[in-house]
Amino acid sequence: MRGEVFLPRSGFAAINEKQAEAGKPLYANPRNAAAGSLRQLDPGITAARPLRFFAYQVGSIERALAPRAHWDALRWLKALGFPLSPDSALCATLDEVWERCRWWQERRDALDFEIDGAVVKVNQTGLQEELGQVAREPRWAIAFKFPAVQGVTRLDRIEINVGRTGALNPLAFLDPVQIGGVTVGRATLHNEDQIRRLDLKLGDWVVVERRGDVIPQIVKVLAERRDGSEREYHFPTSCPTCGSTVERVAGEAMSYCTNASCPAQLKERLAHFAGRGAMDIEGLGAERVAQFVDAGLLGDVADLYLLHERRDALLALERMAEKNTDNLLRAIEASKGRPLARLIFGLGIRHVGERNAGLLAGRFASLEELCRASLEDLVAIPGFGAIVAQSVYDFCQEGRNQALIAKLAAVGVRPEGGRPPAPTDGPLAGKSFVLTGRLDSLTRGEATARLQALGATVAATVTKKTDYVVVGEDAGSKAERAAALKRPTLDEPALLALLAEAEGGGTPGAASPDEAPVPAS
Ligand SMILES: [Zn+2]
């Protein structure tokens, strides 16, 4: 079951009062205080905090039928005794949805807890499945964000942070200002163009906007408040960390440090590699990475796996007691077998986020195989754009990266997963399927896995090249599209028969799915 732990405004005030009495630092807002309360090492402290919880979704169900609609799931959770937001509503039309969102917005300040929007969800589970998700974002739920909260303050200075790709990210340092109960002291400026677009000068009065949880932004300069003391800002032409030349790629807004071994980039790359979603190495945060780089222990991500040979050097560092050191070395060792998709994501190839890394891992069995791919191979991956394909190709062509990939293998990084072996010669090789609607005897994930294991590809959209469209219950627009494009469809019994035949192999004709389909009515 999924839900959210929160701290009511009243509870927040009480906690801060106690913090003040004990001479401890105050929490900036209820969200921080709730997170801080959960993070306590002593569960007794957590238990003593006035935390509350709302369930909002069934996570997964075993040995029971899932409710067919979100609203049913909520009623079920309520019947089981879980606390729910008392103000959830079932809306039948978009007008009702709008009205409900406005209703929330009006009473926002009257609630005993802070909200920055409302979540609108598709009710029918079948339609939710149909809509699916992109990366980790479901397409059947969307946040209705309330208007941003703004504040006015002065820009003190601009500092440059060099990212893992070498991008120079300008960051604005502001005189601290309270916006919606949060102290804002920094804002992102994105890039050089943004600074120019805003006509931003050091010392300017600016309007700062905070939208939800994103980093605050400067949206406007109050030019009428200038008194002549403001100074021009000049974007650096050399890397503030290593002094190398800065280059701006034609057509891109970002400037990049051109030094491949720039320590600032290296630190960011290592932190990304070790971070969540990538190799997920516990205890290896940005600070520790910086410490190791500065001590000359890490020159690239593969060096992490050689750290065990430098245990004495690690122990000589600050805050690296024996226990810390050994825990960290164990965590690094354990990351050697992370799935291929996470390793690819961890390499930090430009334009390759978690989703694209997953697509690559679904197509190639290993980094070595990926590196042998031609540009045409990459462009042919469904869902891959030309820019992404080019970026991956360029990465793989670079000798430095090839050396890194060889080094990763040499130090024992053996990702699990990647494309299952030899699907291209299965009995359904070359056939493409699209699944839509709900199946009774197997989930869509199971159906996909079985089809892929037989060499078929499973795509998200129906095209003229689709061989079969599997149509389950409550099927939506994909079934209509299949009819419009005159693509053969399979109902559930036909799909099961096809799978059974193909998995059984052997029998004459079984390997030819062309004979199996039952035309849809
Ligand atoms: Zn640099």
CATH number for 194: 2.40.50.140
**Percentage of the chain exceeding pLDDT 90:** 46
Q: How far is the CA of 300 from the centre of ligand 1 (A)?
A: 15
pLDDT of amino acid 516: 34
Spell out a b/e string for 229-259, using b for 16 or more CB atoms within 10 Å of the CB, else e.
ebeebebeeebebbebebebeeeeebbbbeb
Residues 325 and 437 in one domain: no
Q: Give dist(CA 33, CA 206) in Å, integer.
A: 29
Q: How far is the CA of 159 from the centre of ligand 1 (A)?
A: 14
Tell me which of 242-246, 433-437, 474-478 is least confident.
Answer: 474-478
Residues 28 and 96 in one domain: yes
Residues 210 and 282 in one domain: no
Give the closest residue to 205 by CA, choosing from 229, 181, 170, 236.
Answer: 229
Distances, alpha carbon 496 to alpha carbons 181, 440, 461, 472, 499, in Å: 57, 11, 21, 12, 5
Q: How far is the CA of 173 from the centre of ligand 1 (A)?
A: 21
User: Where do we find the tokens 């917005």?
Assistant: 105
Instruction: Extract the tokens encoding 494.
Output: 């036909």
Q: How far is the CA of 198 from the centre of ligand 1 (A)?
A: 26
Q: How far is the CA of 254 from the centre of ligand 1 (A)?
A: 14
Q: How far is the CA of 242 from the centre of ligand 1 (A)?
A: 4
Element (H, E) at 390: helix 386-397
Q: Is 424's pLDDT higher than 70?
A: no
Q: How far is the CA of 126 from the centre of ligand 1 (A)?
A: 51
Residues 36 and 117 in one domain: yes
Provide the CATH number for the domain around residue 129: 3.30.470.30
Distances, alpha carbon 285 to alpha carbons 270, 282, 307, in Å: 9, 8, 15
Instruction: Extract the tokens encoding 8.
Output: 């009511």
pLDDT of amino acid 519: 36
Tell me which of 145-159, 241-255, 317-331, 423-437 is least confident.
Answer: 423-437
Domain end position, chosen among 353, 379, 410: 410
Residues 360 and 474 in one domain: no
Q: How far is the CA of 260 from the centre of ligand 1 (A)?
A: 8
**DSSP string of 492-504, one letter each residue:** HHHHHHHHHHHHH
pLDDT of amino acid 264: 92
The SS3 call for residue 138 is strand
Which residues, at least 6 apart from 119, have a Cβ–Cβ distance to it below 8 Å?
56, 141, 142, 143, 144
Give the closest residue to 19 by CA, choosing from 59, 56, 48.
Answer: 48
For 40-46, what is the mean pLDDT?
Answer: 88
For 486-496, what is the mean pLDDT?
Answer: 89
Instruction: Determine if residue 242 is left, alpha or beta; phi over 0 gives left, psi from -120 to 50 gives alpha, anything else beta.
Output: alpha
Tell me which of 42-46, 210-214, 215-219 is least confident.
Answer: 210-214
pLDDT of amino acid 64: 82
Q: How far is the CA of 257 from the centre of ligand 1 (A)?
A: 5
Q: How far is the CA of 274 from the centre of ligand 1 (A)?
A: 21
Which residues, at least 6 apart from 379, have a Cβ–Cβ distance to it below 8 Å?
386, 389
Angle at alpha carbon of residue 73, lines to 55 and 436, rounded to 5° = 120
Q: How far is the CA of 168 from the centre of ligand 1 (A)?
A: 9
Tell me which of 78-82, 151-155, 187-191 is least confident.
Answer: 187-191
Give the closest residue to 381 by CA, choosing from 366, 364, 367.
Answer: 364
Q: How far is the CA of 304 from the centre of ligand 1 (A)?
A: 21
Spell out a b/e string for 381-406, using b for 16 or more CB atoms within 10 Å of the CB, else e.
beebeeebbebbbebbeeeebeebbe
Angle, to 10 degrees, between the axis of helix 263-274 and the axis of helix 286-294? 140
Q: How far is the CA of 167 from the centre of ligand 1 (A)?
A: 9
Q: Work out the burial of residue 86: count CB atoms within 10 Å of its CB; fewer than 13 is exposed, 13-18 middle, 19 or more buried.
A: exposed
Q: Give dist(CA 296, CA 188) in Å, integer.
A: 31
Residues 6 and 117 in one domain: yes
Domain end position, chosen among 216, 237, 259: 259
Q: How far is the CA of 290 from the centre of ligand 1 (A)?
A: 14
Provide the CATH number for the domain around residue 398: 1.10.150.20
Q: Give dist(CA 222, CA 118) in Å, integer.
A: 32
pLDDT of amino acid 512: 36
> Does 511 fall in a domain?
yes
Domain end position, chosen among 410, 440, 467: 410
Kind of pairing between the strands at 141-145 and 168-179? unpaired
Residue 352, domain extent: 340-410
* pLDDT tens by residue, 373-423: 999 889 888 878 788 899 999 999 988 899 999 999 999 998 887 665 445
Residues 246 and 378 in one domain: no
pLDDT band at 123 (very low <50, low <70, confident <90, very high): very high
> Does 416 fall in a domain?
no
Residues 62 and 138 in one domain: yes
Q: How far is the CA of 194 from the centre of ligand 1 (A)?
A: 21
Q: How far is the CA of 170 from the centre of ligand 1 (A)?
A: 14
pLDDT of amino acid 212: 55
Element (H, E) at 477: helix 477-484
pLDDT band at 251 (very low <50, low <70, confident <90, very high): confident
For 480-493, what is the mean pLDDT?
Answer: 87
Residues 20 and 84 in one domain: yes
Number of structural domains in the chain: 5
Backbone angles phi, psi at 231, to 5 degrees: -120, 145
Q: Is 182's pLDDT higher than 50?
A: yes
- The environment of the single-atom ion ligand 1, i.e. residues with CB closer than 5 A, is 239, 241-242, 244, 257, 259, 262
pLDDT band at 231 (very low <50, low <70, confident <90, very high): very high
Cβ-contact 391, 315 below 8 angstroms: no
Residues 383 and 434 in one domain: no
Q: Is 91's pLDDT higher than 80?
A: yes
> Does 32 fall in a domain?
yes
Spell out a b/e string for 449-486, using b for 16 or more CB atoms within 10 Å of the CB, else e.
ebbbebbbbbbeebeeebbbbbbbebbbebbebbeeee
Q: How far is the CA of 125 from the centre of ligand 1 (A)?
A: 50
Q: Give dist(CA 482, CA 468) in Å, integer.
A: 9
* pLDDT tens by residue, 329-388: 999 999 999 999 999 999 999 888 888 898 899 889 899 999 999 998 898 888 787 888
The mean pLDDT value of the chain amounts to 86
Q: How far is the CA of 264 from the centre of ligand 1 (A)?
A: 6
Residue 502 Cα to chain centre, angstroms: 36
* pLDDT tens by residue, 495-516: 988 888 888 754 333 333 333 3
> Does 415 fall in a domain?
no
> Does 234 fall in a domain?
yes
Q: Give dist(CA 190, CA 197) in Å, integer.
A: 11
Q: How far is the CA of 262 from the centre of ligand 1 (A)?
A: 4
> Does 180 fall in a domain?
yes
Q: How far is the CA of 166 from the centre of ligand 1 (A)?
A: 7
Q: Give dist(CA 86, CA 99) in Å, integer.
A: 17
At residue 326, what is the residue type? D
Query: Higher-confidence residue: 145 or 4?
Result: 4
pLDDT band at 518 (very low <50, low <70, confident <90, very high): very low
* pLDDT tens by residue, 443-480: 776 787 788 778 788 777 788 888 899 988 877 778 88
Q: How far is the CA of 246 from the centre of ligand 1 (A)?
A: 8
Q: How far is the CA of 241 from the centre of ligand 1 (A)?
A: 5
The SS3 call for residue 293 is helix
Provide the CATH number for the domain around residue 497: 3.40.50.10190
> Does 466 fall in a domain?
yes
Backbone angles phi, psi at 240, to 5 degrees: -65, -15
For 42-55, what is the mean pLDDT?
Answer: 92
Cβ-contact 255, 240 below 8 angstroms: no
Residues 130 and 200 in one domain: no
* pLDDT tens by residue, 262-307: 999 999 999 999 998 899 999 999 999 999 999 999 999 999 999 9
Q: How far is the CA of 306 from the centre of ligand 1 (A)?
A: 25
Residues 136 and 37 in one domain: yes
Instruction: Extract the tokens encoding 93.
Output: 């039309």
Q: How far is the CA of 253 from the centre of ligand 1 (A)?
A: 18
For 127-143, what is the mean pLDDT?
Answer: 88
> Does 417 fall in a domain?
no
Q: How far is the CA of 245 from the centre of ligand 1 (A)?
A: 8
pLDDT of amino acid 331: 95
